[in-house]
Amino acid sequence: MAVIEVKDIRKVYTETKVPVYAVNGIALSFEKGEFAAIVGPSGSGKTTLLNILGGIDVPSEGEVIIDKKHIASLSSRQLIDFRLKNIGFVFQSYNLIPVLTAIENVEFILQLQGQSKNERRKRAQQLLNEVGLGDRVNDRPAQLSGGQQQRVAVARALASRPQFVLADEPTANLDSKSTENLLNIMEKLNREEGITFIFSTHDSRVVKKARRVITIEDGCVVSDERIAPNNI
């Protein structure tokens, strides 16, 4: 059963003299437990598609249905709440809160959900242990390497036990060792906890791990390959 479904979505930017179609008639669906990569050259519309899938951008046309909910029918407040409870985000440039420590960054999401301090601390510590940063919980982002920051970002994305995680070029700023490490963590979480991961990437290392590869060019899907049977 599809947890995310997009029907003929278009996203047009009209801020320039000539309208730019970042996404131009894409229809896709993702099922629970997928480990999918959206690939394509720069400017092909990967990030825009991911933003629309995550409800942080609104399509100019078309429908986005997440967990049977039409995103367009949600108010701004409901949408924020929906994202908080159902979607985890990992960004290319980590986007951690620089003034908070690693554990506070992870706890922050849980606080937004209204969890108690003890619960928050326990869950954040557990997640940071899982991503291998149990000994760096009190470090601020500036004290961590790029790979470590991205692992904190993954822990943060998973903190609220989301149905799926959207990761926008998560390995773009990482060296090979950090990339390998991060991908292993995400693959493990996908396999063991059934969390759906959707990446936008043009990193071949990520593509190799993906079990579904969607290629887009000029805002359109040009191929949608399932590399291995979805057995989760």
Partner 1 sequence: MLLIIAWRNIWRNKLRSFVVIVSVSLGLVGGIFSMAMMYGMINQRVQNIIENEISHIQVHHPKFTENYEMQYVVSNASELQKKLMTSSEVEAVCSRLRIPGMASSAQSGAGIMILGIHPDEERGVTRIHESLVEGSYLEGRRNPIIIGEKLARKLKVRLRSKIVLTFQPREGELARGAFRIVGIYKTNNSVFDQGQVFVKRTDLVRISEYKDDHINELALWLKEMDSAQMLSKQFQKKHLELQFLTWRKIQPDLAMVTDFMAEYFIIFMSIILAALGFAIVNTMLMVVMERIRELGMLLAIGMNRGRVFRMIILESVFLCLVGGIAGVGVSFALIEYFNQAGIDLGLFAEGFESVGYASQVYPELESKFYFIIGFMVVGMGIGAAVYPAWKVLRYQPAKALRME
Cα dist. 193→59, 152, 205, 220 in Å? Answer: 30, 18, 22, 31
**Amino acid code (one letter) for 60:** S
**Window 26-65: contact mask with partner 1 (x via CB under 8 A):** ----------------------x--x--x-xxx-------
72 part of the interface to partner 1, by CB under 8 A: no
Kindly determine how many residues on this chain lie close enough to bind partner 1 according to the rule CB under 8 A: 31
Residue in the block written with tokens 């959900």: 113
Q: Closer to partner 1 by CB, 149 or 212: give it.
A: 149
Q: Closer to partner 1 by CB, 5 or 107: give it.
A: 107
Instruction: Name the CA dihedral angle for 169, 171, 173, 175, rounded to a multiple of 10 degrees.
Output: -160
Of residues 77 through 136, those in contact with partner 1 by CB under 8 A are 77, 80-81, 83-85, 89, 91, 93, 95, 97-100, 104, 107-109, 111-113
Of residues 144 through 203, those in contact with partner 1 by CB under 8 A are 156-157, 160
The CA distance from 43 to 226, in Å, is 24
Instruction: Name the CA dihedral angle for 220, 81, 86, 29, rounded to a multiple of 10 degrees.
Output: -30
Q: Closer to partner 1 by CB, 79 or 221: give it.
A: 79
Q: How far is the CB of 211 from partner 1 (least distance, A)?
A: 26
Q: In what order do the strands lie in the sheet with 220-226?
A: 87-90, 164-168, 196-201, 35-39, 212-217, 220-226
Q: Three-state SS for 17?
A: coil
Positions touching partner 1 (CB under 8 A) are 48, 51, 54, 56-58, 76-77, 80-81, 83-85, 89, 91, 93, 95, 97-100, 104, 107-109, 111-113, 156-157, 160
